[in-house]
Structure 1
């Protein structure tokens, strides 16, 4: 190379070097930057201490860039799994036979529209006795979904071709004497964050509305193996929050001016309107409880680690749970019995039995209630109090209890951090701007804010969560089930963090005609007892048999 560099090239080289130096200066971590950053965290390191940290932080930052180059699709879970099991806790080891009897003398109604609100056992009795075929029943529900689904905005995709194929197969099996049980030939729908082969799985969000995943979620597979007929993918608020999805806002069938709440918006709306006998929802922080309240359905949020989330969109790996939305506690038990247990794919799932039986004597259960929360500050006071009175009249002794005194609401940062990680690429690519909701409480802002939560504070929050798990064990040591208002109370937050199961059931109506609910809380893996008490309550009251009509007037 000629050592006599031309002036023009020298100038160009200086410009290039200058630009590079400016780039380095922009990227370099400096003490003033760290002074600003530590204010976000409430820290007070000296300038000398901050200066000493800069080299390590530069290395971390370079590491972030290398890690970002590794493909991490949503289904890849962290190497850390939440453990809801307190020290000293044991679940029953013996698995007993699931027992729900088929009703006798069920007749096909003269007005077939009445089938819309038949229970799973009633429909099963009709199919088993061949009074109606699975194909006829499937066509009936497909027609209702086509007729009223657009009004309620509760369907993302009808799986009609698959449904009719599965229904015909069910009819052949039943005719050949290969009856699989109560779900055989019964149509169902799933929240559209559960993967289904050959159909879109949209997560309710604009950036994913054409997404197709080449697998069936474990829950979908298990229901189909039980003979179930998948007829629809149902709406959810975008990325599992609220009831606003890329196609609109899902409605409550009780009042079309009101949303069905979220995020299992379509599942609750469709079941309440009799468009399906049951559907699958998910909950991270109220997404089964809330739409069940807005729509007057019965929802089961199982214990964390009960149902495989393989094939389900991840929002919070340590808090996501999958459960059924139905019209009764017994229906919920039937569906749950088909979907729970390990699959070898979701390593957070425990092999604990579900020993539900219609022979469980709910009156012998030890029942607590959150006394202070029923004093009018939370929930729906008049209907909540009436529910307690109905149970007392039935011979249930209610023991007052309190929840642990720990800052549970502050631990909700868990969702912000894990959600920001689950949708890291969405945020960094700028595609979060495609989401319809862009207000301060919407996902784009929450995911951005979540990136500023220090890893140390997240870990500290999980350590407090460990204390919460342990203290809940102590609070419930003499209780089988306890009762809570569905909303307002910190119970919803606490138990989603600890992983406890709940059954939410309708208790009547508000003055504006919208439904109200109450929540039956189980011990860890205590779904059977919570469902048994919920069934007792529903046997005493008529509310799960009330059906909306507002959606019928607009077609």
Structure 2
């Protein structure tokens, strides 16, 4: 709809399907409502509008009462998003999680090579006490201090805590109380996950000194597995992009380029070997996009797989938490530690994650988005090479397509839910403290969302229900399918439906920046999805490529 100038007496706004005024002494008039309804494309008569005035004034009074109720970001709405199609059932029987232990792992002659070891390799070194957790922790802390400032990927080093946890891990391992492959292994988390005693800044100036003195469920579970928290990592302010209150996070492949976002620091740190793995989040591409810009492997789990307790809420019906690591198997190891109900996040489902040797990737039914792979783009050769590598390995690829429904239009979901999550920030005017103030930045998005009617939001969710049902029909004959990572429609659709994806490196562009391919699985099908991604990575060496860390020869933009 073409935007027109709207002069609204009393600064009339439209919020949640009702009109409000900032100047309460001004009475609503038919003329005001005539102007306001043009914003949302309605055409009620003067008589019809006149009849609504008393009800709208009553709504205004309700708003004032409700706004006096304190609503921290952690309070979710009573409406719970359900990604499960009608008639769908997921597996309920849980089997043993299995990862093959690597044989004869030794410390590298060149200590710097340790930075790019996989989780199983690092775990074996720690388990066999070839290196202590404390030594390994100091190694990664040193790298974070050396390269972190250039990449602008760290908000807070948790050094004191990390050394305490590492020493405890060493004591436990020496006493024969080994907990598994994450025991004694350092990790970092995106700084929208709360941590005791350390700041949780959400990457945004208004919250730069915020302390939420509790460990998010994901943080607690990794620590329970023996993990060592060494850093809080950058995110684009309030989970958008790579610009945060302290700067712009860089890709280690070319520090003149941003790392994309919003899990900017998590991807940059892992790609640069500053950490073996980190936790990111995704609402609409925030694991896929930075993993692509940084050449890492990232898992976006099924919606409702991982508790978001202690995580900043942007969109209650779309936010997801997942690992960013060196390989699909590394992601499986981390995911196994963090998935499942915690009794705190009511959105989480109790479904098993049966990743083990019983899964034969060659027997999985595999599809691909034929029309997207047929398009011409700069690195299409890398994606076509991925398809050919799978065919050469005996995988039959079946062409599929996505539902023919409006999907991009449904992303107003994020605008509405984000505006609600940060209602106080907008109404207080503190949104002016955010670094980004352009037309497509959060302050303007949140303000614009106030003009989206509640009715239209709910209608969008009804279309979303159709999308979920049709997606189930499209995927009935495949276990996994492939999509170019650039395919925005696939990214939008699967984030709306809640399907899991794994993004893995598959080559480089002519400018030296990495490219990735995206594997998408069935709902709660992470075991098969990760097994297939591991199968692909076993045929290629893209995940073993690492950036040149000589940043001094490069200049930032």
- Give TM class, smaller chain: over 0.9
Query: What's the offset of the Cα at 1:40?
Result: 1.1
Q: Secondary structure at the match of 2:395?
A: coil
Query: What's the offset of the Cα at 1:553?
Result: 3.3
Matches within 5 A, 1:80-229: 80-229=79-228
CA-based RMSD: 1.2
Supply the distance in 2 between the matched residues of 1:324 and 1:25 (Cα, whole angstroms): 48
Supply the distance in 2 between the matched residues of 1:408 and 1:32 (Cα, whole angstroms): 35
Supply the distance in 1 between the matched residues of 2:39 and 2:277 (Cα, whole angstroms): 46
Q: Secondary structure at the match of 1:109?
A: coil
Asked if the contact 2:407/2:492 (under 8 Å) is kept, the reply is: yes
User: When the two structures are aligned, how many residues end up with a matched partner?
Assistant: 533
Supply the distance in 2 between the matched residues of 1:374 and 1:113 (Cα, whole angstroms): 38
Q: Secondary structure at the match of 1:490?
A: helix
Q: 2:17 maps to what in 1?
A: none
Compared CA separation, residues 399 and 26, structure 1 to 2 (3 A): same
Supply the distance in 1 between the matched residues of 2:552 and 2:378 (Cα, whole angstroms): 30
Q: 2:386 maps to what in 1?
A: 387
Supply the distance in 2 between the matched residues of 1:342 and 1:273 (Cα, whole angstroms): 33
Q: 1:35 maps to what in 2?
A: 34
Q: Secondary structure at the match of 1:322?
A: strand
Supply the distance in 2 between the matched residues of 1:183 and 1:379 (Cα, whole angstroms): 39
Query: What's the offset of the Cα at 1:488?
Result: 3.1
Query: Is 1:241 paired with 2:217?
Result: no
Query: What's the offset of the Cα at 1:552?
Result: 4.0
Q: Secondary structure at the match of 2:518?
A: strand
Query: What's the offset of the Cα at 1:110?
Result: 1.8
Q: Secondary structure at the match of 1:27?
A: coil
Q: 2:483 maps to what in 1?
A: 484
Unaligned runs of 5+ in 2: 1-21
Q: Secondary structure at the match of 1:505?
A: strand
Asked if the contact 1:300/1:502 (under 8 Å) is kept, the reply is: yes
Asked if the contact 1:278/1:325 (under 8 Å) is kept, the reply is: yes
Q: Deviations 1:458-511 (Å, cap 9, x if unpaired)?
A: 000000000000000000011100000111340000000000000000000000
Q: Secondary structure at the match of 2:324?
A: strand
Compared CA separation, residues 25 and 86, structure 1 to 2 (3 A): closer
Q: Secondary structure at the match of 2:299?
A: strand
Supply the distance in 2 between the matched residues of 1:433 and 1:118 (Cα, whole angstroms): 43
Supply the distance in 1 between the matched residues of 2:253 and 2:108 (Cα, whole angstroms): 25
Q: 2:308 maps to what in 1?
A: 309
Unaligned runs of 5+ in 1: 1-22
Matches within 5 A, 1:462-481: 462-481=461-480
Supply the distance in 2 between the matched residues of 1:73 and 1:363 (Cα, whole angstroms): 48
Asked if the contact 1:379/1:485 (under 8 Å) is kept, the reply is: no
Query: Is 1:547 paired with 2:536?
Result: no
Asked if the contact 1:379/1:489 (under 8 Å) is kept, the reply is: no
Structure in which a larger fraction of residues adopt helix = 1
Q: 1:517 maps to what in 2?
A: 516
Query: What's the offset of the Cα at 1:354?
Result: 0.4
Q: Deviations 1:228-249 (Å, cap 9, x if unpaired)?
A: 0000000000000000000000
Query: What's the offset of the Cα at 1:111?
Result: 1.5
Say which is worse superposed, 103-112 or 515-524, in terms of deviation. 103-112
Q: 1:277 maps to what in 2?
A: 276
Q: Secondary structure at the match of 2:281?
A: strand
Q: Deviations 1:1-21 (Å, cap 9, x if unpaired)?
A: xxxxxxxxxxxxxxxxxxxxx
Supply the distance in 2 between the matched residues of 1:273 and 1:438 (Cα, whole angstroms): 30
Supply the distance in 2 between the matched residues of 1:487 and 1:27 (Cα, whole angstroms): 50
Compared CA separation, residues 314 and 379, structure 1 to 2 (3 A): farther
Q: Deviations 1:5-59 (Å, cap 9, x if unpaired)?
A: xxxxxxxxxxxxxxxxxx9885311100110111111111100000000000000
Asked if the contact 1:148/1:551 (under 8 Å) is kept, the reply is: no
Query: What's the offset of the Cα at 1:551?
Result: 5.0
Supply the distance in 2 between the matched residues of 1:378 and 1:431 (Cα, whole angstroms): 42
Query: What's the offset of the Cα at 1:554?
Result: 5.9
Q: Secondary structure at the match of 1:282?
A: strand
Q: Deviations 1:148-190 (Å, cap 9, x if unpaired)?
A: 0001000000000000000000000000000000000000000
Matches within 5 A, 1:402-481: 402-481=401-480
